[in-house]
Amino acid sequence: MPSAAAELVFDEATKVYPGREGAAVDHLSLTVPAGEICVLVGPSGGGKTTALKLVNRLIPLTGGDIRIDGTSILDHDLVELRRSIGYVIQQVGLFPHMTIEANIGTVPKLLGRDRKWIRRRVAELLELVGLDPDKDRKRFPAELSGGQRQRVGLARALAANPSLMLMDEPFGAIDPIVRARLQDEFLRLQHELRKTVVFVTHDIDEAIKLGDRIAILREGGRLAQYDTPQRILEQPVDDFVADFVGRDRALKALSLRTLGDLEPTSAAGDGLPRLPAETNLRDALAVLIAEHREALVVVGADGRALGVVKREDLLR
């Protein structure tokens, strides 16, 4: 069973839908290193979903190639290819006639795993995605909330321990608060599992938060820029990218670093706002503005003050 993360390479991958003018994905070339999250963003109709489905061959390539660990997807057996790739979509697509347990156990069962193994794996995965293995395993999808369903979808995609995950706007239909929580949990999971992930969204903030690298597609499925969030925000290659990331890109760039990344001075901090070290610089700045202060105290995990940071330190 595949487990170690795989390297994914798009090599001039092209898709032209029959009977349509112009390509949906146009000579797309990029490499997702093993164990990294690559986020595809772009305007609606930009070809993100198409690019994603090319990988598990839900849509056949028109030209170019896609390789997983050096082997072309065309050289894989179709069924094996799909079973080795985790696939999560916005509508989740849980099987309504199966319990949560059966849903998650689907692929292991197809792969011939025995019942005991599956039971253990399901419990493990439910725990991993923050559901209750005892209470939730026998329920049907209709009995879950949208957020819970999405967690089950994620667990199901992880069940066969795939080396590559494809996720198409998995958190798109979920309210902002739950979405933020799912994003955090997803990052925590990724920290543990280290899968190679291709993640589609049209929310640039989500892309910045989750992506190790971001690929921005423009209309017609052409790659506009492929870079780390930092470089996308600080050095957009053209007006399209600059527009797409927004006028507040300088502020967004702040959100990539936390107070812990700075070096606090040991000045007196009496009466200043106190913020934990994992607060990002953007939120810290917002606090300073709201409270009309020039400096704040950074607090460590144990609750002790680490030192003082000034407003201009944040903006440096």
Partner 1 sequence: MTGWLLAGGPVIPNFGRPSACLKRNGWFCTDWMGKHWGDTLQPALVQHIELTLVAVGIGFAIAFLLALVGFRWRIFDAPLGGLTDLLYAIPSIALFQLLVPLTGLTVTTVEIALTSYTLFILYRNILSGLRSVPDEVLESARGMGFTRLQTFVRVELPLAAPAILAGVRIATVATISIATVAAFLIQYGLGAPIFDAIETPDLFKTELLASGGLAILLALTADGLLAVVQRAVTPWNRLR
Q: Which positions touch partner 1 (CB under 8 A)?
A: 56, 58, 78-83, 85, 87, 89, 91-98, 106-107, 110, 140-143, 153, 156, 166
x/- track of binding to Mg ion for residues 132-171 (CB under 5 A) = ----------------------------------------
d(C-alpha 123, C-alpha 133), whole Å:
5
Residue 32 near residue 196, CB atoms below 8 Å: yes
What are phi and psi for residue 228, nearest 5 degrees? -70, 155
- Can you give the length of the chain in residues? 316
Task: Report which secondary-structure segment, H or E, holds 83.
Answer: helix 78-83
Residue nearest ligand ATP, Cβ-based: 49
Smallest distance, Mg ion to C-beta of residue 217, A: 11
Residue 191 near residue 217, CB atoms below 8 Å: no
Residue 104 near residue 130, CB atoms below 8 Å: no
Complex with Mg ion: residue 49 or 255, whichever CB lies closer: 49
Pick the binder of ligand ATP from 47, 108, 229, 264 (CB under 6 A): 47
CA distances (Å), origin 295, targets 43, 71, 157:
39, 54, 45
Smallest distance, ligand ATP to C-beta of residue 213, A: 18
Please report whether residue 60 would count as binding ligand ATP according to CB under 6 A: no
β-pair partners for 45: none
Name the binder of 110 from partner 1, Mg ion, ligand ATP, none, CB < 5-8 A by kind.
partner 1
Smallest distance, partner 1 to C-beta of residue 87, A: 4
Q: How many chain residues are in contact with Mg ion, going by CB under 5 A?
A: 1
Please report whether residue 49 would count as binding Mg ion according to CB under 5 A: yes
Smallest distance, Mg ion to C-beta of residue 169, A: 6
Instruction: Give 90-95 contacts, CB < 8 A, sequence gap 24+.
Output: 90/168, 90/169, 90/170, 90/172, 90/173, 91/173, 92/141, 92/149, 92/150, 92/152, 92/153, 93/153, 94/141, 94/149, 94/152, 94/153, 94/156, 95/141
Please report whether residue 49 would count as binding ligand ATP according to CB under 6 A: yes
Residue 252 near residue 208, CB atoms below 8 Å: yes
Residue 227 near residue 52, CB atoms below 8 Å: no
Instruction: Give 268-276 contacts, CB < 8 A, sequence gap 24+.
Output: 268/308, 269/295, 269/296, 269/297, 269/305, 269/307, 269/308, 272/296, 272/297, 272/308, 273/297, 274/299, 274/305, 275/299, 276/300, 276/301
Smallest distance, Mg ion to C-beta of residue 95, A: 22
Complex with partner 1: residue 58 or 301, whichever CB lies closer: 58
Pick the binder of ligand ATP from 5, 41, 48, 104 (CB under 6 A): 48
Please report whether residue 202 would count as binding ligand ATP according to CB under 6 A: yes
Which stretch, 40-48, 119-127, 241-249, 284-292, contacts ligand ATP (CB under 6 A)? Answer: 40-48
Please report whether residue 44 would count as binding ligand ATP according to CB under 6 A: yes
Please report whether residue 17 would count as binding ligand ATP according to CB under 6 A: yes
Name the binder of 100 from Mg ion, ligand ATP, partner 1, none, CB < 5-8 A by kind.
none
Pick the binder of ligand ATP from 5, 24, 165, 297 (CB under 6 A): 24
Binding site for ligand ATP (CB under 6 A): 17, 20, 24, 42, 44-50, 202
Binding site for Mg ion (CB under 5 A): 49
